[in-house]
Structure formats: structure tokens, C-alpha cells
Structure 1
Amino acid sequence: MSRRSTGLVGVWAEMQRQQQRQLEADARRRREQERQERAYQRRVAQSHREYRQAEARRRTEELDARVASLRGLLAAGCRAPAFRAASLLRAEEVQPFSPGPLAHPVPLPNPHHYQAQGGWTASRRAQAEAEARARFEHDLHAARAAEAQRLHQLEAYRREYEQWAEARRSEVRRHNAGIAEVTEGVRRRDPESVVAYFSAALYASTAWPEGFPRQVSAAYDAAARQLVLDWEMPGPEVVPETKSVRYMPGTDQDKETPRPVGQRRALYREVLAQCALLVLHELFAADESAALDAVALNGFVDAPDPATGRRTHIHLVTVMAPRSTFTGLRLEQVDAVSCLTDALRGQLAARPDQLSPVRPGRRPQEVGDQVVTHGDGGEEPDLYEMDPLAFESLVAELFRAMGMQAVTTQRSNDGGVDVDALDPAPIRGGKIVVQVKRYRNTVPPTAVRDLYGTVQDVGANKGVLVTTSKFGPGSHTFAHGKPLELVSGSELVDLLHRHGLRGRLGGAGRAAPARPAPPGPGARPDDSNVLGMSWSGDVALDVCALVCRGTRVLSDDHFVFYNNPQTPDGSVGALPAAPPDRAAIRVSFEALPEEADRFVLVAAVDPETDPEADLSGFTDARIRLLDPAMTEIGRLEVSDGRPGETALVLGSFRRRPNGDWDFVLGGRGYTGGLEQLLRDHGVEVE
């Protein structure tokens, strides 16, 4: 009995020991897993910290590199080769004739390959030989017909090639003759030729960093041998506001150290002085014919006037540089500010970052009538009047000047493509299809939609639509997020000049077209868009529009609502809404006043219909953008309303520098209703 009990106790004890060992092993595994997890988390945290620290260092290095580039702008520009008219000449060489498969004659059949098959008897052998000869004659006839067809096609292709090659050589000869004519005009001190030549020198320069503006107005005083020009300078934003970036592990955020105001101001003054000296250097270096005894330069920025808020040219630099004085300077070693203000006795704004202006010296308008602005005027071709084929060739030439391969397509079976281009750049390059629209009115969104269809059909990487006109908001809305690029007329002219090509939009002295009389109430101009607005909820709203300059309405008459159904010029007006819309506004962006840069849409609770309502029931709101034919061309989402608010800015269309309009989503609400919103926009509310 005792032995059995002892045996049971032993078994029980052994089971307890095994269970204990298992628990200890499990505990060891858990501790090891926890240790490995902690080690992994430490590695992840360390890797994250190292990445964020490296990213902060990279951003700091980029800022330092930008500042170093700005400080070395003049020295780097002086190392660039001087402009020469010969650099604009083009070789008359054309791509050699390459007929492809048409170059190879059709092979004639070999009679030895046509042997009689079979024939044990004389009659059967004669029949087999006759069949072999028949096959040979048939194939020989077919081969000769195919060869005749090949020769016919080859001759036709050769004629087409000769016509194309001669047209290309003629174009090159005309271009080179124009360059020679300008060069000879510079030798004769012809004002137009001198301005054209030195404008080309500035536009063709490789010394300017990417993104720096190139806008010039110039005139030439032949008697004094003096070139007078206004040249656009970069704005204060060219100097980075941030000095360095440091990662803070405690908050897992980057801390940006701002660049001191005094340091930014000093660097911006240095940049302006370097830009002015670099312009003078490029002009005198390009003067092969000694046409310039002096250059009068006024540097300006295109920015809102701090006093009036209106966009204007604010002059920050002015200098009169005689050749004899300037050529004695060693620009690579000078202090730019001292050189400009002391050696050349120029003026530089003391606080250019605050756009405090200087009084400009001699202006191009004071010289005479021969003033060229933005490279316009002179003998440059008017893009509106160009032959369509010549215009397409000019666009193709622009793409080639930008480093791409580009050819114009045949007039038939081109699939909606005017220029085929190939960007050889890795990653971002590829096949580009280009459509050219020589319009005077705004390009309709249907053209942008057609281009997108063509891009998909031909499998291109990108589609580019080039026009002499503009694009409306519908076009930009459709193109957003798609492999499409829209080039307006003003952007096209700028690109042409930047790459040494010539082109202008209309005549310099052409009178502005007369504006049509304002349409009657409810009438809709042919080029107007309709903005249809809808929302969920039962709240009754008044939808209104304001035509503004910045955040201020142009006048009380430019506030469109139920008591003022349209603006005085008829560019904006209220319309009866058609389902599914609950409100509608028409706007002709082309007809908006030139001083207007914003078109603002607002909504407010109607206090007479529902005095206790707010915008909490204003949800699922959207704006439908309709073309003149009332076809929907885009939708814009709008922010929901919030409790307590009784007025809301739905969004605003803002004029881009090239004249097009983009939509910016609103969302700011007002608890004081429409009155508070209007006061905020400068409307006098009784």
C-alpha cells in the first residue's frame, strides 16, 4: 500500500516537474520574443530617425545649394559663352531620302525552281512540264507587276521627299536670311535690328537659372548709341525663407530655422545687383559691331503695389553703364552691390524685399516709337496670320529647340495629331502627340477631350495642346490629373523667345477689339459658361457672385444677386436654374474686366424664407461647369456647411498670369450671414 502511494506521488511529482519545465521554456520563449520585438522596434525607430535626419540634412543641403547658386550667379554667368548671331543659323542639311522597304526590288522567280513533277509517260511528262511553265509564267507576271508598283510608289515617295526637303531648305534659307538681315541692320545702327539682336541675346542666354523671368522692353537711341531697356528681375521669394531644417526626435517633427530678415534682404539685394551686372555683361559681350556705347538698364519686378494692391512694375534697380567703364571691370571678383552702386553709380533699393522702389532712369518709351516688348514687334511673324502649315512647322521647331525629336504629320490620316514628338529623356520622356489650334477665341473643352482620346488611341506618354488663344476653366478642370499639357498663346510666345525663335500675337499697334454691348437680362453670350449649383437638404439659399480684385469687389455693381441680376458690362448674370441644378450663374471669363483677378461664388441662407435656418443642412454640394451649349464639362466639389453659419464662400475662380482661370475651393463660413461676408469683400451694406 505504501509503495503504491509512493509510486503515485512520484508520478505526480514528475508530472509537476515536466509542467514546470514547460512553463519555464514558454516563459523563456516569451522573453526572447519580447527581446526580439524590442530590438526590432529599436531598429525601426533608429531607421526612422536616421531617415528623418537624413531627409532634414538633404533639405538643408538643398537650401545651402540654392543660396550658393544665388551668390555665384554672376560668376557662373560670366563663364557662359557670349551670344553670337551665327549661333542662330541653321544648317541646310535635311534627313536623307530613306524609302525603307521600297528601296529593295521585288525578286523575280527562278525558273530552276519550277521543275516538272511526276510524269512516267511521255504525255504525262509533257503535261507536267506545261504546268511548271504555267506556274513560272504566272509568278513571273505577278513579280513584274509588283516591281512596277514598287517603282511607281518609290517615284511618288521620292517626289514627296523632294518637295518636303526643298520646303525645309527654303525655310532654313529664309531663317538664315533673316538672321543676316538683322546682323546687317545692327551694323547700320538700325534701331529695330539692334533691339531684335540684343533681345535675342538675352532670350538665348544659358546663364540664367531655371525659373528666372525673362521679360524685356527695349529701345535704341542710334544717335547716342545707347540701348535702353526694362528687364524683369526675380521676386523676393527667390531667396529661401528657411535657413536650415533639423529633425526633432522628441516630437517626430522637422524644425525649420527661418533665415533672418536682414540676411534675406542682403542676399536679395546681392541677387538683384548680380542680375543687373549680368544683363550688362551679356549685352556688351554680344556687341560684335560696337553698336553700344552705353546701356541704360531698369530692373523691375511684376508684383502688387503695396500702396494700392494693383499689379504693376516696381523698379528696384537702375543703372547707366558706359562701355568704357564697364569693360574695365573684373566681374568675377567684384562685390556686386558695391560694383553697381559705387563703380557704376547705379541705384539699388535699400529694402527690395519690401518692394520699396527706386526712381528709374531713362525709359524705353522716352527714346521713340521703336519699343519692343517681350520680343514683340519688329519683323517677327504674327502667329495669327501665319500659314497653318508654317505654324505647325514652327511648333515642331520649338520642340526640337527644346531637345526633342519632332516632325509634322501629313495632312490626311494624321489621327488628330499635328506634330509627332519624342522626348529622349529617361523616365519622364517618351512619345508626345501635339495638336496645334490657331484660335483667337478661347479653346473649347471639347478640343482637350479629343486630344485625350488621341493620347489613349496611339499609346502616347503625353498630349500637348498648343494655341494662340487661351483655355477656360473647363479645359483646365478636365486636364487636371491627366497626361495633358495646355500651352496658351502667351506661354507659346515666351517659349519661342526663350529658345531663340520668333513669333508674336497680333500687331504692336493693333487697336483693341471693341467690346460687345452688354446683353440683356437673362441673355447668354456665345462664349459664356454656366455654373449650375446643387446641394442636399431643405435649406433655402441665395447663390451670389462677386467680381473682385484680390479680396475686394470692384464695385457694388459687380455684386450679382437677386436685386442686381447682372454686372454693368454683362459679363456675369443670374440665370433660372434647370434641373438638376438649384441655382445658376452665367459668366463670360473673356469679358470680365481686365482689373479683375477673382470671380467668387457665395451662398447664404434666405432669412425671409427661413429665418432660423443655418448651413448645417447644406451638404453634398457641387458646381457643374457647363459650356455655351449647356454640355457638362466638369464638376467641382464644394465644402459642406456647418452649424451656426449662415453664409459660405463656395469657391473662387482666379486668373493665372497667362490669362487663364483656375478654381480654388472655398469653405470659409460666416455666422453673420451675407452682410458679414459682403463687408469682408468691401461691399457697402446699408
Structure 2
Amino acid sequence: MRVEEIPPFDPGPLAWPVRMPDPSQYQAQGGWTANRRAQAQAEARARFEYDWQAAQAAEAQRQQQLAAAQRDYEQRAEAQRAEVRRHNAAITEATAGVRRGDADSVVEFFSAALYSSATWPEGFPRQVSAAFDSAARQLVLDWELPGYDVVPEAKSVRYVPAQDQDKETARPVTQRRALYREVLAQSVLLVLHQLFAADEYGILDSVALNGFVDAPDPATGRQAQIFLATVMAQRAAFRDLHLEQVDAISCLTDALRGQLATRPDQLTSVRPSRRPQDVGNQVVTHGGGHEEPDLYDMDPIVFESLVADLFRAMGMQAVMTQRSNDGGVDVDALDPTPIRGGKIVVQVKRYRNTVPPTAVRDLYGTVQDVGANKGVLVTTSGFGPGSHTFARGKPLELISGSELVDLLHRHGLRGRLGEGGRPGPAQPAPSGPATPPGDYNVLGMTWSGNVSLDVCALVCHGNRVLSEDHFVFFNNPQTPDGSVRAVPISAPDKAAIRVAFDALPESADRFVLVAAVDPEVNPDADLSGFTDACIRLLDPSMTELGRLEVSDGRRGETALVLGSFRHRQSGDWDFVLGGKGYTGGLEQLVQDYGIEVE
């Protein structure tokens, strides 16, 4: 249940009346003659009356603004109270239904308990179909279990600096199979534990649980639910278990007399003793791909409401704004967390194309105008380098479509992007072309001073970057073809970029290196401490081939072009010293290369 805790109205500076002028401060000055004294008195009285009228007008304006702020507060407070009442009424009704043993209420209650569980491992599926047998006081459910790929093929990974590669050690097949069976057994026990722990009203005498995976049926090749575990657990028997000390497989198959597939890696199935559809009541399903609403097709107001629900699920207070006068804000949120919390303004963009940097800049203006602690821009699409560059070092957070879907699922809400349904686990970045050892160089950057810098690269034609994806920086660690990428550093370098010059796009004739002050680490720093800098040219074995001197930084500048490699007709790439500095940081620099920031 939520509490109607509405912060009191805070008028801020509007609470203080405008100070009226003091007549004693308007005494006539000077005047040796009666006429001059009369004139001085008239001038003093005129000044007083002018200031009095100005103060009265300012006070009237203050009172109008105060009344408007009070009305706005009351509207927002009432909307928040109404939302809390609706939520609490729904909880009260659902709780009453559970206590009565109403089948639909019981199923919804326990399904929600599983679907929103914080102990179910992140990344594991959350799909449930359930029904409640009121006569037997038994909950019957099918619950999705993780697939075989949850156990990695690699036993360990070791980074080899000389080759700039991760070297994997394979996990023995028998060990992987055994671990997968263990994971399945532990998952079943965890679900049973969560259900009985959530049953504070003593509704359940037993649970019939069937664990399945969504996979191609080995017999037909069609996608199907293949059951790998099943158990019918009595509350009394489960309560007597000491789960922290049991062997999961033995507990499931022996103590609880359940079944677990002998070769779940090969999708050998077990036969469930009872399915939800065997119960007479209607089966309720949550979490299946067909139930995921498509965020692209969602009504804008419904989408904004979903984002507000997400913020509330994350422990914040959140209300939708009045659309007629929202000032560019779709959701007002309040994070009650001490120190890092405060007022948050949220803008929602249901886009299919990349959000332009102007939207990020507008949000920053709104944050400043309303005095918010933070601004959050939520979209169904994504953001380009210009947006990330502008947002860096500012109280802004950019949430892309894939991040939004992940947050929704982690907090018990639903949503997908397009026909793909619920997205799978994030895939690793492409490794780029398989270049022989002699086909790339590592450019290691060294400099004196303690200033923290971001070293970035732009793949250009002339003085224009080929695309935003060809700007390699902190939020885009490599180009689409992998020909340029940021790599781990080794002493004495403070930054390193790998480039395969022969693999650069045909249209590229310049490869530009730049450096900029990191505003999050050194917000007040400039490049005056950037001295004795050079680029170390290294081969794939990290042997130094030569050094390229670059210009020192200058006071007041926060970004600098270190230099560029230029493609000559002979096929060689020659280095040309840079030196152009910028007082507006990386944001100003990249605009010179055609990246939109504002």
C-alpha cells in the first residue's frame, strides 16, 4: 500500500512580500531658498510615489504568481493523491479477493509475486500460466526456466594484451550438463519458496509446478513448451526443508518426489502431473511474448503513463503533467533517496529514428528553468554521439529503447519494440574484420600532467566525419566495421586506439585524433596541463615503431585536435600535426566535423 505523503507546498522566493519603500528614506535634500526646498520636497515625494507604485505592482504580480503556484501544487497533489487512492483501492480489492479464495484474484496475486520478484535472477525468463483449484487449495502453474545457454561454454576468459584478444578456456561438456541440471533444480525450488513465502494469508495447501523452456521440439522442429521439471509440493513438506543446506537435485527428486529431465541439454522432457488447463477455472498467463505491448504502436498518453509506472516501480513518486501546459515535461518524478535524490523532469519520445540533439538540449533548458535536480529523456529509439556528447557532465540521463524494455521487464512491467517481441540478451559488439597481425597499428597517447582526458577518433572525408557511427568515443568504442576501436592501455600510455588503415572505408581520406577534458572528472580543468604529449606508433606486438609529437594545450581550452593521418595517392597515410583548440570542449569540436549537437 502506498502512503499519501505529499510534500508541503514550498513557494520559495514567492513567500516573501515585496518590501514597500520607507517614506523616511525620501527626505528632501538641500535647498537654501523656500522655492528650492519646495522643489526638493516635490521631487522626493515624486520618487517615493514612483517607487511605491512599482512596489505595489511587483507585490500584485507576486501574489498572482503565488496563487498560480498554489493552484498548480494543489492540482498536482490531488492528482498524486488520486493515483495513490486508485492504487490502494486496487490492492484492497485484490487482497479481499485473495482472502475469499477467489480463483482469479489468487492467480493474479501469486503471478504478480513471481513476475515482480527481485530474487529471480536478472536475465532469466519470466513467463507464467496459472490456475487455482479452490477445492484442493492448490495453485497449478507452468513457469519458464532458463535455456541451456545460461551455462557459458567458456570456463574462464583471459585477456592477452600482446594480441589484444580474450582467450577462452572451454568448459568440459559433462560439467556444463551437470551445472545446467543444478540450475534447473535450484530455479524450481526458488519458485516454490517465493510462492509459499508470499502466501501470508495461508491460501495454498500445495503447489503443482511445471518448469518448461521455449525451444524447437526435437521431434517436430516446431517451437514448443518442453517441460524439463515437474513437482507437486505440499506446504507442510516444503516448510520442513532447510533449503540453504540441501542438494537442489536431490531435494527436488527425492524429498519432494518431483521429476527432473535426465538430459535437459538435449531437451528430454518429463510429463507434468497436472497442468493449469486441467483446472476448471480460467488460465491466466503473464509474460508471454504475445502479451508484450508494442511500444511503437502504443497511444502516446498510454506510453507516458507506462513510463510514470516505471518510475513508481523504481521507488519514486511520479505523476503525468497536464498536456496543455507541461513546459516540455511529460512526467514529474521525485526521488526520495537522500543526497542523490530530488526533483526529476522526464520527457518521453516515442520515436523510430534517432532522437536529435536538439531534444537533449531542450531538456537541459527545462531542467534549468524549473530548478530540477535531473532530467531524463526516455525514447523507443536511440541517441547519437551529438546527444551523448552534449549530455556528458550535465544532470541528464538518456534511456534508449532497448534500455527501456530491459527496465520495464526488471520491474514487472511489459513492453517490446516492434515485431521482435521481447528482446533477448544483449549481443556483444561486433569484433570487426579478422585482420592479420600486420594489418593494424595501435596509437598510444602519453602526456604530462594529471588532467583526465578523453581521446577520440573521427574517420573523415575531408573535414566531415563519414557518419556519427564513425566517431569513436566513450559511448561508441568502435566503428561499425571494426577498423577503428578503443583498446585497453598499457604503460606508459594513458589512452590507446587501434586502427587498421587498409581496412578503413574507401571514402575515408582522413583519420583525426582529438583530446578533450573529461568534465565528469575535471569539471573546472583546461588543457594548460596537457604538455609533453606524443603519439606512440605501435605494431600488433606492441613494439614501438616511432613517436609523433603533438602540440601542448593552452589555458582556457578544453578540447584539442592532436593531428590527422591523411591518405596520399601513393596509398600511404601521412601524419599532419594539429593544434587547433576549442574553449567549448568536445561538444564544440565535433561540430566542426559535421556532428550535430544543437
Is the shorter-chain TM-score for this pair beyond 0.5, marking a shared fold?
yes
Q: Does 1:265 align with 2:177?
A: yes
- Determine the C-alpha separation between the residues in 2 that align with 1:355 and 1:425: 49
Equivalent pair of 1:316/1:358 in contact (CA under 8 Å): yes
Query: SS state of the match for residue 453, structure 1?
Result: helix
Distance 2:420 2:209 in 1: 36
CA distance change for structure 1 residues 482 and 316 in 2, over 3 Å: closer, same or farther?
farther
After superposition, the C-alpha distances for 1:143-183 in whole angstroms (9 at most, x for unaligned) are 11221221122122212211221121111011111111111
- Structure 2 residue aligned with 1:435: 348
Distance (Å, rounded) in 2 between the aligned partners of 1:374 and 1:149: 54
**Counterpart-to-counterpart distance in 2, 1:370 and 1:159:** 47
| Alpha-carbon spacing, 1:185–1:462, altered in 2? closer, same or farther (3 Å) | closer
Offset at 1:118? 2.4
| Greater Rg over alpha carbons, structure | 1
Q: Assess, with a 3 A threshold, how the Cα gap between structure 1 residues 392 and 453 changes in structure 2: closer, same or farther.
A: same
Who is 1:157 aligned against? Answer: 69
Q: 1:399 to 1:320 in 2, by over 3 A?
A: same
Q: Specify the alignment match of 1:321 in structure 2.
A: 233
Counterpart among 41, 44, 47 of residue 135 in structure 1:
47
C-alpha distance 591-638 of structure 1, shift in aligned 2 (>3 A): same
Q: Contact 2:363–2:375 at 8 Å: present in 1 too?
A: no
How many Å separate the matches in 2 of 1:295 and 1:262?
32
Number of the residue aligned with 1:464: 378
CA deviation profile, 1:641-673 (whole Å, cap 9, x unmatched)? xxxxxxxxxxxxxxxxxxxxxxxxxxxxxxxxx
Counterparts of residues 187-336 of structure 1 (less than 5 Å): 187-245=99-157, 255-336=167-248
- Tell me whether 1:91 sits opposite 2:3 in the alignment: yes
Q: Which runs of 5+ in 2 are unaligned?
A: 365-373, 389-397, 422-478, 483-598
What is the deviation of 1:305? 3.2
Letter in 2 for 1:91: V
Cα distance, 1:310–1:416 mapped onto 2, change above 3 Å: farther
Over aligned residue pairs, what C-alpha RMSD do you find?
Answer: 4.2
Please state whether the residue corresponding to 1:116 is helix, strand or coil. Answer: coil
CA contact (8 A) 1:203 1:498 kept: no
Structure 1: gaps spanning 5 or more residues: 1-88, 438-442, 467-474, 506-588, 593-635, 640-686
CA 1:235–1:383 in structure 2 vs 1: closer, same or farther (change >3 Å)?
A: closer
Structure 1 residues 373 and 158: alpha-carbon distance in aligned structure 2, compared to 1, 3 A threshold? same
Instruction: Give the Cα–Cα distance (whole angstroms) in 2 for the partners of residues 251 and 214 of structure 1.
Output: 40
Using the TM superposition, give the Cα deviation of residue 270 of structure 1 relative to its aligned residue in structure 2, in angstroms. 0.8
- Is the CA contact 2:328–2:363 (under 8 Å) kept in the aligned structure 1? no
Identify the residue that residue 360 of structure 2 maps to in structure 1: 455
Contact 2:349 2:379 in 1 (8 A): yes
Task: Give 1:407 shift.
Answer: 5.3
Distance 1:422 1:117, change over 3 A: same
User: Does the Cα contact within 8 Å between 2:132 and 2:281 map onto a contact in 1?
Assistant: no
1:337 has 2:242 as partner: no
- CA distance in 1 between counterparts of 2:287 and 2:165 reads 48
Q: How does 1:504-519 map to 2 (within 5 A)?
A: none
Report SS of the residue matched to 1:301.
strand
Aligned pair in 2 of structure 1 residues 336, 316: CA closer, same or farther (>3 Å)? Answer: same
TM-score of the two chains, using structure 2 as the length reference: 0.59
CA contact (8 A) 1:318 1:348 kept: yes
SS in 1 for 2:168: strand
Give the residue type in structure 2 aligned to 1:456. Answer: R
Q: CA deviation at 1:360?
A: 2.6
Cα distance in 1 for partners of 2:274, 2:78 equals 47
Report the Cα offset of residue 432 of structure 1.
7.5
Change (3 A) 1:238 1:390: closer
Q: Aligned partners of 2:204, 2:80: CA distance in 1, in Å?
A: 35
Shift of 1:435: 1.1
What is the match of residue 563 of structure 1? none
Q: 2:16 aligns with which of 104, 109, 112?
A: 104
Contact 1:114–1:136 under 8 Å retained in 2: yes
Shift of 1:309: 4.0
> How much has 1:294 moved relative to structure 2?
1.0
Judge conservation of contact 2:360–2:387 (CA < 8 Å) in 1.
no
Structure 1 residue 403: deviation in Å?
5.2
CA distance in 1, matches of 2:129, 2:198: 18
- 1:185 maps to 97
- Counterpart of 1:167 (choices 79, 91, 106) is 79
Q: Are 1:433 and 1:455, in contact at CA under 8 Å, matched by a contact in 2?
A: no
The letter for the 1-side match of 2:181 is R
Post-superposition Cα deviations, 1:446-485, rounded to whole Å, max 9, x if no partner, equal xx546x531133348863225xxxxxxxx57x86996564
Amino acid at match of 2:278: E
**Greater Cα shift, 380-389 or 279-288:** 380-389
Partner amino acid, structure 1, of 2:31: G
SS at match of 2:56: helix
Q: Is the 8 A contact 1:99 1:157 kept in 2?
A: yes
Distance 1:138 1:203, change over 3 A: same
- Which stretch of the first structure deviates more once superposed, 235-244 or 258-267? 235-244
C-alpha distance in 1 between matches for 2:169 and 2:309: 46
Pairs aligned (count): 402
TM-score of the superposition, structure 1-length normalised?
A: 0.52
Any idea what SS the aligned residue of 2:323 has?
Answer: coil
Distance in 1 (alpha carbons) for counterparts of 2:286 and 2:332: 29
SS of 2:136's equivalent?
A: coil
Contact 1:109/1:140 (8 A) holds in 2: yes
Letter in 2 for 1:263: Q
Amino acid at match of 2:20: L
Specify which structure has the higher proportion of helix: 1
Structure 2 distance, partners of 1:230, 1:480, is: 44
**Aligned partner of residue 3 in structure 2, secondary structure:** coil
Residue identity over aligned pairs, in percent, reads 68
Residues 167, 420 of structure 1: CA spacing in aligned structure 2 closer, same or farther, 3 A cutoff?
A: closer
- Residues 421 and 434, structure 1, Cα contact 8 Å, conserved in 2: no
Match of 1:138, SS?
helix
Residue 122 (structure 1) aligned with residue 34 (structure 2): yes
Classify 1:146/1:426 alpha carbon distance in 2 versus 1 (closer, same or farther; 3 Å).
Answer: closer
After superposition, residues 20-99 of structure 1 pair within 5 angstroms as 89-99=1-11
